[in-house]
Structure 1
């Protein structure tokens, strides 16, 4: 009599549970974006349509303004973060700096404390400086978290570049600036691009800092999502969440191609 392998049953149950945990909320989110009427105890929407999409992206829906502000703030955050991270990452990767490990850990300090009390105090300081309710103020707040990804990944990207290639360029007469421009920077560019994407996504999804520093003058997608959810407008909240989710998934697929194993092995070193 052939032996029956029953190990497939627990494996199937575990895989099914994982699929439900991952795809269940996403399926519910997508259903809410097209649900015209959906009341308990119905398992599925009673009527489908796209009227809420038209409402969200109408001139009175504020979604286009929020999307434009979110993209603008994210792009400015990326530019400023990389402007600081590239020289800092190169110095941390190439120069024998004292307390190098402590310098890297210092960039983790914004992650070491709860966001709420930090942003409340930042908002108080920014109010005195006139930065509350401004794009610049929101960008500066987003940079507090974005610099963590920018500096750490930039340092890893420059550390992964072979020093001998730079020495070879210098040996044939290339200046330090030309060596950095023609050799180091192009080789580190995949890691820097991944760093930029992480900063962009972190800024795009940031709510707490945007709320305390930007609201109500600077409308952004996370704030629109919060307002819709608090008001019980699940269709509008789901559409806004989907708009935030799509670039996150797309960019993470791109990051997977940019972040090679040699760069990942240098993170934190």
Structure 2
């Protein structure tokens, strides 16, 4: 009997009396037809995305590219022409100024509002959260047109102030929803202890809460910066000739592709894409996405 048991153990690859070994692993590793279809769709998407981005990148360096796999030659002159023709120094400066103003104002308005929502319970709190979610979930064009009409009526649109005010509509709720989980992770007893020791409201905010909320403030600021640089609809509806951001200037350059060389337009697209990639890398370097949805609350004793 023991000999039969030993031979069976050798054939199955596991000790006698032990749990089944390889069958469960083989079942997990075996791909189903549905999984193959999903991976094929994902692979097809990324191949097409790489092809589009690669063609624009190659075109921005090509001298001539017609009916061949690669351009006849490569050059960097299109980047210089795009820099001068489209006035990219002014456009990038306006983009950075508008984005910085939106970030500062959004944090100044959104952080105190997030503190109130995180610390206070009041009737209609869920409705307030839903109201803040609407500008983020809705397409910007749906509320951008009436918003631009109001800004034009009061003389803000067509200038940098109109671009900043329009971008504050989705940015402030974004800061509120980003900051609320960070504030909820701070123990309220820390604030109570500081007040018992004589600290006023200003001292509690500046010396107690502010150092603890630096990761949340940094996360919301960087994410709002990325969102503002890439926001097209609201900026397009409210920008004037001297207040165009990079994404709007790219749209106008593509509309005039028949007038200007396509390679210079592609060079501008590469500059915009590179700028967005840098911002995204910085955002992922300093922002932990799990912190944006974590709501850790200490259980009462």
TM-score range, shorter chain: 0.7 to 0.9
**Mapped contact 2:82–2:265 kept (Cα < 8 A):** no
For 1:258 and 1:174, locate their aligned partners in 2 and report how far apart those are by CA, in whole Å.
31
Unaligned runs of 5+ in 1: none
Is residue 88 of structure 1 aligned with residue 116 of structure 2?
no
**Mapped contact 2:59–2:266 kept (Cα < 8 A):** yes
State the 1:49 CA deviation: 0.7
1:115-126 counterparts in 2 under 5 A? 115-126=140-151
Is residue 193 of structure 1 aligned with residue 218 of structure 2?
yes
Q: Look up the match of 2:102.
A: 77
Q: Look up the match of 1:241.
A: 269
- Higher-Rg member (1/2): 2
For 2:30 and 2:221, locate their aligned partners in 1 and report how far apart those are by CA, in whole Å.
48
State the 1:67 CA deviation: 0.9
Alpha-carbon distance change, 179 to 238 in structure 1, aligned in 2, over 3 angstroms: same
**Mapped contact 1:228–1:236 kept (Cα < 8 A):** no
TM-score normalised by L of structure 1: 0.84
Is residue 177 of structure 1 aligned with residue 202 of structure 2?
yes
State the 1:18 CA deviation: 5.7
TM-score normalised by L of structure 2: 0.76
Question: Pick from 50, 65, 80: which aligns with 2:76?
Answer: 50
1:137-216 counterparts in 2 under 5 A? 137-216=162-241
Q: What's the CA shift string for 1:128-163, capped at 9, x where partnerless?
A: 211121110110011112123211112122112222
Question: Pick from 36, 41, 57: which aligns with 1:30?
Answer: 57
Q: Look up the match of 1:253.
A: 281
Q: Look up the match of 1:265.
A: 294
For 2:292 and 2:143, locate their aligned partners in 1 and report how far apart those are by CA, in whole Å.
32
For 2:109 and 2:65, locate their aligned partners in 1 and report how far apart those are by CA, in whole Å.
49
Q: Give the CA RMSD over aligned residues.
A: 2.9
For 2:292 and 2:171, locate their aligned partners in 1 and report how far apart those are by CA, in whole Å.
19
Unaligned runs of 5+ in 2: 1-28, 297-301
**Mapped contact 2:98–2:163 kept (Cα < 8 A):** yes
